[in-house]
Structures are given as C-alpha cells and as structure tokens.
Structure 1
Amino acid sequence: MNQTGITIRLSVMMFLQFFIWGGWFVTLGTFLGNNINATDGQIAQAFSTQSWGAIIAPFIIGLIADRYFNAERILGVLHLIGAFLMYQMAETNDFTTFYPYVLGYMILYMPTLALVNSVAFRTMQDPSKQFSKIRVFGTIGWIVAGLVISYVFSWDSEASISEGLLKNTFYMTAIASGALGLFSFTLPKTPPVVDKSKKASICEILGLDALKLINNRNFAVFFFSSILICIPLAFYYQNANPFLTEIGVANATGKMTLGQISEVVFMLLLPVFLTRYGIKKTLLFGMLAWALRYVLFAYGNADSGVWMLLLGIALHGICYDFFFVSGQIYTDSKAGNKYKSSAQGLITLATYGVGMLIGFWAAGQISEYYTTATGDHTWESIWILPAAFSALVFILFALVFKNETIEYKKA
C-alpha cells in the first residue's frame, strides 16, 4: 500500500471515528429529555457513561489490544458491536432500557479513541509532521455530523423533536459505525507491541506509575486543577444542546459546530501563545474562557442576545486547546521517557474519568434543582454556578502554580 493510499485510509478512519461521536453525543440530552422523558438526573447518568468508558478503556487497551490482537481488528469488532448497540438505543422508549445500551456502547467506544491513534502513529513514516493533518479530519467529521443533523435533515428542529425524529441520529450513527467497523479490516496491519508473556501490573496498565510525577509540586497543582476544571466542563457537554433547543435557537446542533471550527483555528495559534506567554498564562487563558463562556450562556438569549451564545460556543477552541492540548504538552515535558505514555493515560483518567464523572453528576443535580413546574429550566442560575467554579479554579491556579519554561517544537 503506497503512502498516499495509507493517508487516505487513515483520514477516512478519523473522519468516521469522530462523525460517529458527534452524530449522537451532542444531541443526547435533548433526545433523552424529549423522546423518553428522562429526568435531569437520568440524563446525567447517561452522560456519565463516557467517564466510565474512559476509566475502563485502559484495561481493554492494556490487557487485550497491546498484547493479543491487531489494533485494526479490535477497532473493527468494537465498532460493529457499537453499531448494534446504537440501533438498540434508537429503538428504546424508556430510560431503564436505554441505559444498559449506552453504558455498553461507551465502554466499547472510548477504547477506540486510543486504537485509531495507535493505528495512525504506527503506520506513519513521520508522525510529528503527518498526524495533525490526518487528525483534523476527525474534527471535520464532528462538524459534518452537526451540519447534517441541523441543516440537511433538521432533526433538531422543534417540529422534528416533537415528532420523535431526533432518534434518527442513532440510526445514522449506527450506519456510520457499521461502515467504520467493516472499513477497519482494510486498514494497515497493526500487530501487538507488548510481549504477552510479560505480565503488566494494574498500575502500569492504568498509568498509575506516573503518579510519582505528583511529587513535583507544580505538576501536582496542574494535576488537581485538571480534575477540578473538568467539573464545569461537563456542564457544556450535558446541557448546551438542550439549553439552546429549549430557549428556541434554530439549528442548535449545526451552530454548535462553531466550537470545532474554532478548535482548528486555535490549535494553529497554540504554539504562538506557548512561545510568547508561557505555559502558565496559556493554561489560565483556557480556564478563563470556561468562566466567560458560561457567563455568556447565562445572559444570552435566542433573539437580540444570540451573539452571546454564538461567542460562547466559539470559545470552545480556547477552552479545549489552551487547557487540554497545552496540558498534554506540559505533561509530556514533565514525564521522562519511562512515563510518557503512562502520564498521558493518567491525565486522561483523571479528567475524562474522575473530573467529568463528578461534573456530570453535579450538572444533573443542579439542572434538576432549577427545573420549573412546567418542565423548563432557570438557565441563568444553572450556568452561573459552573462559571463561578471555573473562576475559582482560575484564581487558585494563578496563585499557586509557578510559571515554567517548557520546550515546545512546532511539528
């Protein structure tokens, strides 16, 4: 297989991988609240399956993918099973039936995020130069999914939601998942890299051996701040689409793709910020953007204040890139060769696992508390709380974290 053919295959893989995620996860809260009358607490449980998947994923990768089977084959099998579970989700009418399917799906999906990276990195001749050009197709896939839902089929319109058509997002995703499952078997062979005869400890599998890095005071501050800032982050994933839909913003899912578009733009600007302002200020920019975003959501509306909502969505690039991506770079700089992989796994476990698990629970409790007798929400109160929490984490981090100079080489 020539290099051009490999690049095309990897790009298609990334496109479908994130088209699948963006094709149902963004509108999940809206679907659950309107199609099967789930409570805010139940919606929080559904979103929390992402965190449980992130916590369980290292076991699947460390115990199975790295030792016994080709990565591309496991990727194919997981997506084929995922297609079945996604179809079953579309067919359910009550939360009790829905929850086991979404839990099973996320336990299978979260490991595929590592698997697509593994296939890509081990196939490329020069990952430092090639990976970003292929990974961007994942962001494009997420964007396309949102645009299709809003502007091609209008499944998130008020009329379509009332007719129950939002469940079509699951059918669409099931088809895409089945396609990626079959396509995965055509990807370059990616055999196991770990000698299965050598036993790995649970600490090594979960990346817990990298906990030694917390002995460094600055890294400890960053580590615990990462967990804390993921608590308000969960409010966005869980509440943004139901919020926009409930207040009457047209084509809400399509408009939310502004966040991924800005993600691409600020990814390009990130090296400039790291070089000019250093790691501390870059991380602080990301934290401050979270607080500002939620303030904009609190006081914006679907009429004259819609610009505030769109600006809040567009801040996603700063929120994600300036904290999470720069945080991955910082973690890589602090970890020696022995801990590079395990340190990244540890941060993922702490953020998408522990931090967002707490965040989804909190978002569900707070949303339920501010639900009116008519079933609507007092959104201003709901958004002000994560805004205040983000601001508090920002202040604590600014006071305790000492600025460092890290070497960052632009790919």
Structure 2
Amino acid sequence: MFLQFALPGAMLPLYSMRLKELGFTPMELAICCATHGVGALLAPLGAQLADRYFAAEKCVAVFSLLSSLFLIGLAYAESLYLVCILTLFFWLLAVPMMVLCSTICFIHLKDPEREFGIVRLSGTIGWMLPGWILLALISIFPNNNLEGQASEQFIIGSIFGFIVAVYALTLPTTPPSPSKVDKFAPLGALKLLRGWPFATYCLCTLGVCITMPFTTQATPLLLEYLGIVQPWLSPTLTISQFSEVLSLFLLPMFLLRFGLRGSMIFGLICWTIALYILSIGEPVALVVPSLALNGLSVTCFLVTGQVYVNMQAKGDLKASVQSLLTFVQGIGLVLGHIMVGLLRSSSQNASNMREELVLAFQVAAVINGLLCLIFYCCFRPVFGKKSMVEVK
C-alpha cells in the first residue's frame, strides 16, 4: 500500500491547480475531476476479474503499469479533450487497483480487524511522499529548473507506479474463487443492502463522497489564494495525511474505546467542522490547521467503514463487497465534482477566489451536518459475536 498510494497521491492534490494553469473554466475543471468518480463506478469490473477469472496481484501489476503511463501523459497534455480522456483512463485503472490491494490485505491478514489500520497507515505515508520529494529536490538542488509544478509531481508519481507493477508480482497469490451460486459476484454483494444498517452506511458514504470533492477540487485553489506558494502547496495539503497517520495508528484504540459506531460518528463530526471552517475561508492560520480534521474523518469513517464492510462479506465475495462500497463512492464523487463546478460557476462574479468558493463549502457543510443526524439515528449494526468493534 505504501507504493500504491503514491500514484494517486502525486496526481490528486495538485490536479485542480494544473487545470487552472491550463485556463480551464470551473465547469471544465469539474468535468475532468468527475472522471475520478467514473473510475470508481466501474471498479466492480476489476473486482469481478479478480474474484472470478484472474489472480488479484497480477491485475494490480497490469493496472499500475498502465495508469503510470497515463499519468505521464497528463504531465504534458494541455487540451481539454486530451486531459479529460487521460484522466478518465487513469482512474479507470487506479481505482480498481486500490480496491484489489485492500482485498489482498483482508484475505491474507490473520486478523484484519486489528491489523488493517496499520497496513493502511503505510498507504497514507506513501500518499504524502511525492510532494515532499519534489520539495526536497527543489530545496537541495535550487538550480535544477524544477518549479514545484503539478506536471513534475505527476512524473514522480509515475515512477512509483512502475515500482508497484514489479513489486505486485511478488505478493502472495490470491487466485480467483469461482462460485456455483453467483456467476456475477457483485450481484451477491448487492444482497447486503437488504440489511438496514448496511444500507444506512452506504447512504451516508454516498453523502460523504458528495462532499469530498469540495475539498479535493477547491482546497488547493483556496490555499493558493491565501498565499501558499506552489512548491509548498502539496506538502501543506499533507497535513491531512499526517493527521491520518496518527489516527490510523490509534484506530485499534478508537475501536476498543468507542466501538465501530462511535468512531464513525466522530469521523462525520470532524468532517462537518472542517467544511464549516473552509466555508469561512480565512485567515490562513485557521484554514491550514483545519486540514488535520480531514485525516481524522478519513480514518474514523471511511477506513473504519472498510473494516465494517469486510465483516459483512462472506467467502469469495470480499473483493466485490469492497467494490460495492467503491461504486457508491463513485456516484458521490461524480455528483460532488459537478456540484462544485456549478456552484463555482454561479459565483464567478465574486471579487476573489475565497468568495467564489464560500458557497460551495457552505453547501457541503450543510449536507454533512444532515449526514451526522441520519447516521446517529439509523446506523445500529448488530454483530453475531462479541467483537472489538461492537456497537457502543
């Protein structure tokens, strides 16, 4: 996971800045960003290949190699059509790759409930690495013509992708497991929606993923307006990942102390507070520290949710159950990115970038506040045996 997360970690933080530099309008930028959600929507196909036909580690190797090539293309593409196509293909490969890596972990870890948080922690560290490597190169070699541009970080990320492609072939074999009952594995995963707690979790995950693009697409633009220079932009955004590293390390303690439900509610509250602060948009001394709340919300809601989803999976459906969650996230990402574009377009008469983004962050904060209420009232899972993540 350390190597794998460096690939999207190089691309996503500065992607909106890259498109702004190319002169894209808010709606054009939003459409390109929405391809991330399209990749998530089609991720179950990758899980289907792993679940039924091919070894998961071989799929990871192929997906990583190809996505690295598309990331290199993005470093040089300038036209709207080409950027959109390359981004789409990048996410069509990168999202299933990340899903399958999680599946490999859950299958081969002896105690996924206790161990997955630590494994996922290494992925968060990998996410931060490209931005800091680029900053280090600029600092150590000031005359190397590097400027901290997004395209330079894309190249660094692609190098990590090539390493993943080779390393994946050394992972433990995760062969396909054909089922005589469900010929199409994702259909078996859909049956879990019959349970009210699982359906509630999917609904709230959808809502959270609608609000996530408000930060991934708009926060870099806000930080640049507040005076964060470009070489420091990606490292500044890694405050979220530093917080995530700490909270992932403490995840087993969270689960023991607060239980699964309590930890996830805490994550939603943190995300709502973060969005509210971003809707204020200044001063920089308030906005930058608030990024730490993002890491807490990712760990306590999304990562803990992965553990919960894995507990609901049976037998060889683990990859497809994780992909069902990714599919739900994909719908949210598409809707969220388009909403950001529409809200920014409606605010283009604003005098500066902060005023242009205020309405978008306000809408996101209201949505997430409603999710907190829904989750608190409706998510009450019951486990068949005593567990470290029992409801509290």
Using structure 2 for the length normalisation, give the TM-score.
Answer: 0.85
8 Å Cα contact 1:370/1:377 also seen in 2: no
In 2, Cα distance between the equivalents of 1:127 and 1:398? 25
1:9-40 CA-partner distances (Å, limit 9, x unpaired): xxxxx222111111111100010111x21122
Q: How many residues align?
A: 380
How far did 1:150 drift?
4.1
Q: Residue 43 of structure 1 is aligned with which of 2, 26, 29? A: 29
1:392 aligns with 2:370: yes
CA RMSD of aligned residues (A): 3.1
Q: Could you say what secondary structure the match of 2:154 adopts? A: helix
1:27-65 CA-partner distances (Å, limit 9, x unpaired): 00010111x2112222222222222111212212313x3
In 2, Cα distance between the equivalents of 1:334 and 1:71? 20
The aligned runs of 1:308-323 (5 Å cut-off) are 308-323=286-301
Can you give the 5+ residue segments of structure 2 that lack an aligned partner in the other structure? Answer: 140-144
Q: Residue 254 of structure 1 is aligned with which of 205, 224, 235? A: 235
In the other structure, the counterpart of 1:298 is 279
Over 3 Å counting, the alpha-carbon distance change for 1:334 and 1:234 in structure 2 is same
In 1, Cα distance between the equivalents of 2:291 and 2:318? 32
Over 3 Å counting, the alpha-carbon distance change for 1:408 and 1:242 in structure 2 is farther
In the other structure, the counterpart of 1:4 is none
Over 3 Å counting, the alpha-carbon distance change for 1:165 and 1:226 in structure 2 is closer
Q: Could you say what secondary structure the match of 1:54 adopts? A: helix
Q: Residue 177 of structure 2 is aligned with which of 184, 189, 194? A: 194
Q: Residue 133 of structure 2 is aligned with which of 135, 148, 153? A: 148
In the other structure, the counterpart of 2:196 is 217
Over 3 Å counting, the alpha-carbon distance change for 1:277 and 1:130 in structure 2 is closer
In 1, Cα distance between the equivalents of 2:352 and 2:197? 45
The aligned runs of 1:8-407 (5 Å cut-off) are 14-34=1-21, 36-63=22-49, 65-120=50-105, 132-153=117-138, 165-185=149-169, 187-188=170-171, 190=173, 192-195=175-178, 200-202=182-184, 204=185, 206=186, 208-250=187-229, 251-301=232-282, 305-334=283-312, 342-351=320-329, 353-372=330-349, 376=353, 378=355, 379-402=357-380, 407=386
In 2, Cα distance between the equivalents of 1:372 and 1:213? 47
In 1, Cα distance between the equivalents of 2:16 and 2:284? 21
How far did 1:289 drift?
1.3
Over 3 Å counting, the alpha-carbon distance change for 1:365 and 1:164 in structure 2 is farther
How far did 1:131 drift?
5.1
In 2, Cα distance between the equivalents of 1:267 and 1:224? 24
In 1, Cα distance between the equivalents of 2:372 and 2:177? 40
Over 3 Å counting, the alpha-carbon distance change for 1:164 and 1:92 in structure 2 is farther
Over 3 Å counting, the alpha-carbon distance change for 1:199 and 1:384 in structure 2 is same
8 Å Cα contact 1:149/1:253 also seen in 2: no
How far did 1:300 drift?
4.0
In 2, Cα distance between the equivalents of 1:32 and 1:101? 13
1:339-386 CA-partner distances (Å, limit 9, x unpaired): 6554433222212x1122211111121122222377745232221111
Over 3 Å counting, the alpha-carbon distance change for 1:164 and 1:292 in structure 2 is closer
1:212-271 CA-partner distances (Å, limit 9, x unpaired): 333333333332122122211221122111221133124221111111111122223333
How far did 1:293 drift?
0.3
Q: Could you say what secondary structure the match of 1:248 adopts? A: coil
8 Å Cα contact 1:370/1:382 also seen in 2: no
Work out the percentage of aligned pairs sharing the same amino acid: 27
Q: Could you say what secondary structure the match of 1:309 adopts? A: helix
In 2, Cα distance between the equivalents of 1:366 and 1:20? 29
In the other structure, the counterpart of 1:5 is none
In 2, Cα distance between the equivalents of 1:152 and 1:116? 30
Compare relative contact order (CA 8 Å, sep 6+) and give the higher one, 1 or 2. Answer: 2
Paired AA for residue 33 in structure 1: K
Paired AA for residue 18 in structure 2: F
8 Å Cα contact 2:51/2:317 also seen in 1: no
- Return 257-266 or 400-409, whichever deviates more: 400-409
8 Å Cα contact 1:235/1:359 also seen in 2: yes
8 Å Cα contact 2:54/2:176 also seen in 1: no
